[in-house]
Chain A
Amino acid sequence: MTTAPSSGQSTGANEENYVAPTPATVTPELLAQHSITPDEYERILTALGRVPSLTELGIYSVMWSEHCSYKSSKVHLKRLPTKSGRVVQGPGENAGIIDVGDGWACAFKIESHNHPSYIEPHQGAATGVGGILRDIFTMGARPLAVMDSLRFGPIQRGSQADDLVSKNHSIVEGVVSGIAGYGNCFGVPNLGGETKFEPCYSGNPLVNAFALGLVKIDEIFYGKAAGVGNPVIYVGAKTGRDGIHGATMASEEFKEGSEQKRPNVQVGDPFMEKLLLEACLEAMKTGAIVGIQDMGAAGLTCSTCEMGARGGVGLDVELDNVPQRETGMNSYEIMLSESQERMLLVAEKGREKEVLDVFAKWGLDAVIVGTVKPESRLRIRHHGVLVADIPNESLTDDAPIYHRPVGEWSAPVLVEPSDDAQVALSEPRNYTADLRKLLASANVSSKRWVHEQYDTMVQTNTVQGPGGEGGVMRIKGTGMPRHERGLAMALDGNSLWCYLDPKLGAMHAVAEAARKVALTGATPVAATNCLNFGNPEKPEIMAQLSAAIDGIAEACTALKTPITGGNVSLYNETRGEGIYPTPVLGVVGILDDVTKAVPADFQRSGEAILLLWPIPRAEEPNPDLKVPFEPLPISQYPLPALEVKPRDEAEPEGTEAETSADLIAFGSSEFAKVVLGSIWGRPPALDLAAEAELHNLLGILAHKKLISSARDLSDGGIAVALAESAFSHGIGATVEQEPALMANPLFGVFAEPASTVIVSAKQANISEIQKLASESNYFSARIGATGGDRLELSIYGDPVISASVAELKEVWASALESALHDEVTA
């Protein structure tokens, strides 16, 4: 293993006095510590033409880690759509960029910080936010908003072993305070996102941070070095020993004892980051900056070789010049440090002072550490001695790519409900009590406790903050005066659905994220994804990943939301148990007039509530639906669920097959999981063409100012959707559920059909809404009216839910906090 190859492209050999970096004593143990396989080591020997130095080995180890190289996912990621007329920058840069009009562009991206957030929740989450913010402002964009997609283990006592639940509590507390502490100080509003709980995330929480920023389209900066002789400048925080091998850690399964890797976790300094933001944007204005990249995962290593590779040049760096926080650091440590709040930039030769002056004004370290060279090699010296000399491409484009075996994945979950579930389904039920249970459940309950810790309003652009469907920001200085343009954004991912069917589940994630954006009236235009999966060396995990990517590709194509970037996080397993496959999608949309943004909550009493759902393909609109329905008392409705008969034998719909599809989908609902304590079946069907039509329809309804609120049927079905619409302003509703959506009354109230939304509107607008809906191939039924202080829902004329809005709200609003404060009583 230590034998050097006989022939190699000994690079600097033609230079006088060239002394190659001192070879390391390479042993199998050393390679294992660096997570480098014997095959990969052979590649290193070939690329270098000699035995690597220890510093070089460290550099290869981080650059070829899953986290930096995407070696397991790259071949699959190629299937994602990445182009459209709006895409200015697709995947491969620090962030994706789209054209939003009026000379403005927006940069956005989502990234995971899962493993660090388990080891040290507060700092792990904080530095996750810091990293994604740097990805945005390194492109010249001022961060406008952040959101987070969070997954935790259960927090309700009794749901898992007490020590696990307690640990989950502290992870939730730490992650939320970390996100808050960083974003609040930095001064970027947090628009929420989503917070979900499943047992599989105990011991492997997910923290996916999304950020979006604005930049003038002709003032975008790239992470590309150019101009031989130009100075390479290091700016920001000093380098310490923190986070060494963080990138490698994030690419390994968690094993017992990895908590002891604690020093690996970096500590964030949001104040420094705020100064870095202001200084970088000001320095960019001087026109003297050629390229700029943040030092995130793999720190100085990643920024030096990537900037060089993108520009086809090399960076020659002397580590003695790197500002250091600790004494006695060696080259290995300096190159691999993941100290936060640092940037690397290339300036125009002769104009260094202009750049350095800006950083001095902001009290930041800015030091020339190297020079741009013509050869595309990364050359690192320490105390004048060459310690690394590597062809850039071998670290980036030529990094190993694996075609890992893709096996089969089939969730170990029955398609049909269990006997117990069937009994529960057919029992007479108190729907109001069921609704309370859902409202108090971890996934449905209010996330106010989370959001109130975030500054959601700084920068004074927040038109719709957390708690609604999508977040909506205005863009100052665009569009018409007082009618500026807006950006809407949302995150979504239903991991249970992806577990049951990775492809369909991933399609739903795209569809729902885009739907949330469309519900605000915006046109969804682009997406970013964060793919959180288990160990890719297991063929069934690769099957999940591959299928999910297929689903995302199909949905993003159909909904015209290309992927402009993102992140893959693999090895999300603890003690051999993988998480649910969890692709998280972030979708961004544009509103031409932000004053037309549609909220998710009922706005006033006395308005009509309409239900919109797609007309099934290959079927004509059913004229019967327009005829007033003859209510049948619920007591006479045929139960149990499995033996549901068509309610009218003469009607063509409601066949056995359809009933069965509804039953199968119901097993993946929040109701089945929370109320029945049982999971079966597959996710609901999704018609992407119909989904696209819905987004278009919602845009028209908003543009014509026909609707006052819009919300989709999601976790907990129409019952939860109505309750949540009522909470914000305490406006109740009286609703008769549309019979066409009910194969069974229970499904009519709690099922979660795709592409189905409720809107509230002035009575005078109903006919126009219905006309437009039908033009978009949507059914629209007026199912009730807003008003009063109660939620009344009936089916077939029988009241099934009746409760005061205030009482339901109390249950929903307090659940999360009470669960978190529920200590073990010894």
Chain B
Amino acid sequence: MKAHVYVTLKTSVLDPQGQTIQNALRKIGFTGVDGVRQGKYFVLSLAKGLTLEAAKAEVERVAREVLTNPVIEEYTYRIEE
């Protein structure tokens, strides 16, 4: 079982990297992209024998307490069987 965790800056927080990418896209000619938010992506390989419930609880905690800084970041995740 694997967990995929995505961490991005909160929408209320300025993202200069995302903006720079967006500006570059516009210059190159990708007019179909209206905005870019960049972030981090983690793949957690979960211990064998963990129930889905337990896995969710574990991943939630890891994401909330370690992988993100709640002042500026938020996360989503999905678990792959």
Q: Is B29 an interface residue (CB 8 A)?
A: yes
Q: Chain A's nearest CB lies how many Å from the CB of B65?
A: 22
Q: Closest residue to B28 on the A side, CB-wise?
A: A826
Q: Is B27 an interface residue (CB 8 A)?
A: yes
Residues of B22-81 whose CB lies within 8 A of A: 27, 29
Q: How far is the CA of A823 from the CA of B23 in the complex (A)?
A: 12
Q: Closest residue to B24 on the A side, CB-wise?
A: A823
Residues of A795-826 whose CB lies within 8 A of B: 823, 826
> Which chain B residues border A823 with CB–CB below 8 Å?
27
> Which chain A residues border B27 with CB–CB below 8 Å?
823, 826
Q: How far is the CA of A823 from the CA of B27 in the complex (A)?
A: 9
Q: How far is the CA of A823 from the CA of B26 in the complex (A)?
A: 12
Q: How far is the CA of A228 from the CA of B38 in the complex (A)?
A: 56
Q: Chain A's nearest CB lies how many Å from the CB of B22?
A: 14
Q: Chain B's nearest CB lies how many Å from the CB of A86?
A: 49
> Which chain B residues border A826 with CB–CB below 8 Å?
27, 29
Q: How far is the CA of A826 from the CA of B30 in the complex (A)?
A: 12
Question: 0/1 per residue, A64-80, Cβ < 8 Å to B?
Answer: 00000000000000000
Q: Closest residue to A825 on the B side, CB-wise?
A: B27
Q: Chain A's nearest CB lies how many Å from the CB of B54?
A: 29
Q: Closest residue to A826 on the B side, CB-wise?
A: B29
Q: How far is the CA of A826 from the CA of B29 in the complex (A)?
A: 9
Q: Closest residue to A824 on the B side, CB-wise?
A: B27
Chain A interface bracket (under 10, 10 to 19, 20 to 34, 35 or more): under 10
Q: Chain B's nearest CB lies how many Å from the CB of A783?
A: 48
Chain B interface bracket (under 10, 10 to 19, 20 to 34, 35 or more): under 10
Q: How far is the CA of A185 from the CA of B29 in the complex (A)?
A: 36
Q: How far is the CA of A823 from the CA of B29 in the complex (A)?
A: 13
Q: Closest residue to A823 on the B side, CB-wise?
A: B27
Question: 0/1 per residue, A376-416, Cβ < 8 Å to B?
Answer: 00000000000000000000000000000000000000000
Residues of B1-35 whose CB lies within 8 A of A: 27, 29
> Which chain A residues border B29 with CB–CB below 8 Å?
826
Q: Chain B's nearest CB lies how many Å from the CB of A293?
A: 36
Q: Chain A's nearest CB lies how many Å from the CB of B14?
A: 20
Q: How far is the CA of A70 from the CA of B32 in the complex (A)?
A: 54
Q: Chain A's nearest CB lies how many Å from the CB of B4?
A: 23
Q: Chain B's nearest CB lies how many Å from the CB of A668?
A: 39
Question: 0/1 per residue, A196-219, Cβ < 8 Å to B?
Answer: 000000000000000000000000
Q: How far is the CA of A301 from the CA of B79 in the complex (A)?
A: 44
Q: Chain B's nearest CB lies how many Å from the CB of A820?
A: 14
Q: How far is the CA of A479 from the CA of B7 in the complex (A)?
A: 53
Q: How far is the CA of A826 from the CA of B27 in the complex (A)?
A: 8
Q: Closest residue to B23 on the A side, CB-wise?
A: A823
Q: Chain B's nearest CB lies how many Å from the CB of A169?
A: 12
Q: How far is the CA of A608 from the CA of B27 in the complex (A)?
A: 52
Q: How far is the CA of A823 from the CA of B20 in the complex (A)?
A: 13
Q: How far is the CA of A520 from the CA of B17 in the complex (A)?
A: 41
Q: Chain B's nearest CB lies how many Å from the CB of A642?
A: 48
Q: How far is the CA of A489 from the CA of B27 in the complex (A)?
A: 43
Q: Chain B's nearest CB lies how many Å from the CB of A350?
A: 41
Q: Chain B's nearest CB lies how many Å from the CB of A41?
A: 46
Q: Chain A's nearest CB lies how many Å from the CB of B24?
A: 9
Q: Chain A's nearest CB lies how many Å from the CB of B41?
A: 18
Q: Chain B's nearest CB lies how many Å from the CB of A274?
A: 22
Question: 0/1 per residue, A435-461, Cβ < 8 Å to B?
Answer: 000000000000000000000000000
Q: Chain A's nearest CB lies how many Å from the CB of B57?
A: 29
Q: Chain B's nearest CB lies how many Å from the CB of A125?
A: 21
Q: How far is the CA of A826 from the CA of B24 in the complex (A)?
A: 12
Q: How far is the CA of A50 from the CA of B27 in the complex (A)?
A: 61
Q: How far is the CA of A823 from the CA of B24 in the complex (A)?
A: 10
Q: Closest residue to B27 on the A side, CB-wise?
A: A823
Residues of A753-796 whose CB lies within 8 A of B: none
Q: How far is the CA of A826 from the CA of B28 in the complex (A)?
A: 8
3 A–B contacts, CB within 8 A, in A order: A823-B27, A826-B27, A826-B29
Which 3 A-B residue pairs are closest in the complex by CB-CB distance? A823-B27, A826-B29, A826-B27
